Amino acid sequence: MKNHVYRPLLVVIAVVVLILAVRAIYVPDDFAIGDRGYMYGWHRQGNEVDWKNVKVKYLGREYCQDCHTDRYTSIMASAHQDIECENCHGPAVDHPDVRPALAIDKSRAHCLRCHFPLPYASSGRSKIPGIDPDEHNPDIACAECHNPHDPMEGLK
Amino acid sequence: MITRRKFLKSTALGVTGMALPLAAFDFIDPRKLMALEAADASKVRWVFLVDTYKCVGCGLCVKACKEENEIPYDANVTRTWVERYVLTKNGEVLADTPKGARDGFTTAKIDLGLGKYREVKQEDIEKAFFVPKLCNQCENPPCVQVCPVGATYATADGVVHIDRKWCIGCGYCIMGCPYGVRFFHPVHRTAEKCNFCYHRITKGLKPACVDACPFGARRIGNIKDPGDPVTRIIMTERVGILKEEYGTKPQVFYIGLSREVK
């Protein structure tokens, strides 16, 4: 038994053991095959919970109903009944406790998302009444004349 | 006395043996295999249905998605986006999606990129429509196969996730996705993509884009529930999928797909 034969073998073993040890410490315990087998399911199981715990920010208009009953009832009876409040006011998370006021998007561009005329026959866009922004009362916010919660209310 | 041949042989064997990941032996544990089977019987498999006839290109889905999932609002990346296709009578296919349609389509000018725009006269348009895009949550996700560290994976209910703690940002998955739905998250510096708003669907809510759409162009359903209206449409009506030839088995179905859509 000559030392020079075993020495490189020991070095190789030491390196492999070191790699395995580092791997055992570094890789989290919950790394395992998930429900989709090795090919698609090899992952840190805890991450699924991480994704489930992301905070919900859009709460839906039923949440607004009790406090802003007037807006709710007027929009539900108007041509805008399909548009969620938070599309124009932003996500309501933490409102009104932490954030007492929500955003109010009064820009013309916001209304033009739907009302700029693009008469593409096979798209629902062609069925929404469009206005030419350069002709239809330019430079005045749409909400000065139209009530967004009931757009044809009080117009002459 | 050890021979040179014997030494080399046993070294090679030993090293190969030790290099085998310990986890490779998990496979032979029958109890784990049983658990696998049981989990597979889980009764949810999320699918998505897009009706391109109903989409008006308002982009409110994109806005809602960015806010809900904290994708930096002004960075030109998004988990979902809307494409506009305009096909002219002389056979040209023009498509654009300015800022992923975060602000909708408020002009008839088609954005050709590099600051060039093109306006097609109404009478020259053969057909034109909008196509919302999002992650297809493929049954055979190529993005998962290419991940070298196990940071992206599919769950039993069919959603493909990215582990932000484990992703090393190598970008293989971004190149591997045939649909281009993956991008780098500018803040977390990891790969990022749509996960059907997993935090909402697992709480009985709908994805933010589905709730934001005033026209019902986006819907989510459970393909394992035969009574689900979305499942019924997918099973009984004419729906298409994107890039079928890739064999990825996408789980986002489209009503009114046109062959120009890629």
**pLDDT tens-digit readout, B222-250:** 999 999 999 999 999 999 999 999 999 99
* Same domain for A83 and A29: no
- Which residues constitute the domain of residue A45? 3-52
Residue A150 domain flag: no
Is the pLDDT at B98 greater than 90? The verdict is yes
Q: What is the mean pLDDT of chain B?
A: 90
Backbone φ, ψ for residue A24 (5° rounding)? -65, -35
Label the pairing between strands A42-44 and B239-240. unpaired
Could you tell me if A84 and A111 lie in one domain? yes
* Neighbouring C-beta atoms of residue A113, cutoff 10 Å: 20
Q: Which of B22, B215, B261 to mutate to test the interface with A (most CBs of A within 10 A)?
A: B215
Q: Which of A15, A30, A52 is at the close of a domain?
A: A52
Distance CA B130, CA B132 (A): 7
| B115: alpha, beta or left? (left if phi > 0; alpha if psi -120 to 50) | left
pLDDT tens digits, one per residue of B115-161: 899 999 999 999 999 999 999 999 999 999 999 999 999 999 999 99
* Residues A72 and A103 both lie in one domain: yes
A66 and A28 in a common domain: no
The verdict on A41 and A78 lying in the same domain is no
Instruction: Say whether both A10 and A80 belong to one domain.
Output: no
Of B204, B67, B132, B107, nearest to A88 by C-alpha is B67
pLDDT digits (tens, 9 = 90+) for B208-220: 999 999 999 999 9
Residue B69's pLDDT band (cuts 50, 70, 90): very high
Q: Which residues contact B91 (CB under 8 A, 6 or more apart)?
A: none
**Domain count within chain A:** 2
Q: Is residue A155 part of a domain?
A: no
**Looking at this predicted complex, what is its ipTM?**
0.88
Contact yes or no for A143/A106 (Cβ under 8 A): yes
Q: Is there a single domain that holds both residue A7 and residue A29? A: yes
Would the pLDDT of A31 be above 60?
yes
- B126 or B25: which leads in pLDDT: B126
Is A151 contained in some domain? no
Q: How confident is the model at residue B38 (pLDDT cuts 50, 70, 90)?
A: very low
Taking the Cβ of residue A136 and every Cβ of chain B, the question of whether any pair is shorter than 8 Å is answered with no
| Residue B37: per-residue pLDDT | 44
Q: For residue B154, list chain A residues with Cβ-Cβ distance below 8 A.
A: 34, 36, 40-41
Residue linked to tokens 């090919």? A39
A87 and A19 in a common domain:
no
- Residue A153 within a domain: no
Do A65 and A114 reside in the same domain of the chain? yes
- Nearest to A83, CA basis, from B75, B182, B61: B61
Same domain, yes or no: A76 and A140: yes
Q: Do B208 and A58 make contact, defined as CB atoms within 8 angstroms?
A: yes
Residue A13 lies in a domain: yes
Show Cβ contacts of residue A10 under 8 Å, excluding neighbours closer than 6 positions.
none
- The tokens for B183 are 């991008």
In a domain, A152, yes or no: no
- A154 domain residue, yes or no: no
Angstrom distance (rounded) from CA A126 to CA B55: 10
Q: Does residue A149 lie in a domain region?
A: no
Taking CA–CA distances from A47, the nearest residue in chain B reads: B163
State the SS3 of chain A.
CCHHHHHHHHHHHHHHHHHHHHHHHHCCCCEEECCCHHHHHEEECHHHHHHHCCCCCCCCHHHCCCCCHHHHHHHHCCCCCCCCHHHHHCCCCCCCCCCCCCCCCCCHHHHHHHHCCCCCCCCHHHHCCCCCCCCCCCCCCHHHHCECCECCCCCC
- In this structure, are A92 and A25 located in the same domain? no
pTM of the full predicted structure? 0.89
B160, closest residue in chain A (CA to CA): A40
Closest Cα of chain B to A39: distance in Å?
Answer: 7
pLDDT at B245: 93
Pair (A44, A73) in one structural domain: no
Contacts of B23 in chain A (CB under 8 A): 31-33
